[in-house]
Amino acid sequence: MKKWSQSLAAIWFEWFTAEPRAYASPGVKKTTLYEFRHITGYMMLFVPTGLALDASSPAYKDEVLVLGKKAQENTLGFLKSYGSPAVAGGTAFKALRQLHTQSKLDEQIAQLHELVDSDGVVDRTPPSALPTFVRRRPSK
């Protein structure tokens, strides 16, 4: 798993389609897992229609790819609006993490939680494998 030179869509695709899943594979380094988990979590914030992935669907990998490309486009557009030239996983991760610590992603996080509450997010990834900001509501 090369993370820094990969596109966001490639990381997304690998997270959702690799067997065994990245979070369940003992061969994945902890740092790589951390970065993939967070990159995927940040990308989830930029899927405006929700996330409905059915691994039993014959078109599952195609659906993951299309959704990943859309999430990448939206994520990079968001970063560009803040002046970031990021295009690959590593630089995008750093830029998103910085924006997150500056509370610039609060609106997107709230929207994701609304989608989760309305069953707009369907994914077999266990909550424990997702970053904290995806699984827990921010305290007011």
Closest CA to 40 of 116, 138, 125: 125
Q: Is 114 inside a domain boundary? A: yes
Domain extent at residue 32: 8-134
Q: Is 17 inside a domain boundary? A: yes
In sequence order, the 6+-apart residues with CB closer than 8 A to the CB of 22 are 1, 14, 15, 28, 32, 33, 36, 37
Distance CA 50, CA 117 (A): 11
pLDDT digits (tens, 9 = 90+) for 23-76: 888 888 888 889 999 999 999 999 867 788 888 889 999 999 999 999 999 999
Tally of domains in the chain: 1
Q: Is 81 inside a domain boundary? A: yes
pLDDT digits (tens, 9 = 90+) for 70-127: 999 999 999 999 999 999 999 999 999 999 999 999 999 998 888 877 776 777 778 7
Q: Is 140 inside a domain boundary? A: no
pLDDT at site 136: 65
Q: Are 42 and 78 in contact (CB under 8 A)?
A: no
Distance CA 135, CA 112 (A): 10
Is residue 130 scored above 70 in pLDDT? Answer: yes
pTM of the model: 0.87
Q: Is 139 inside a domain boundary? A: no
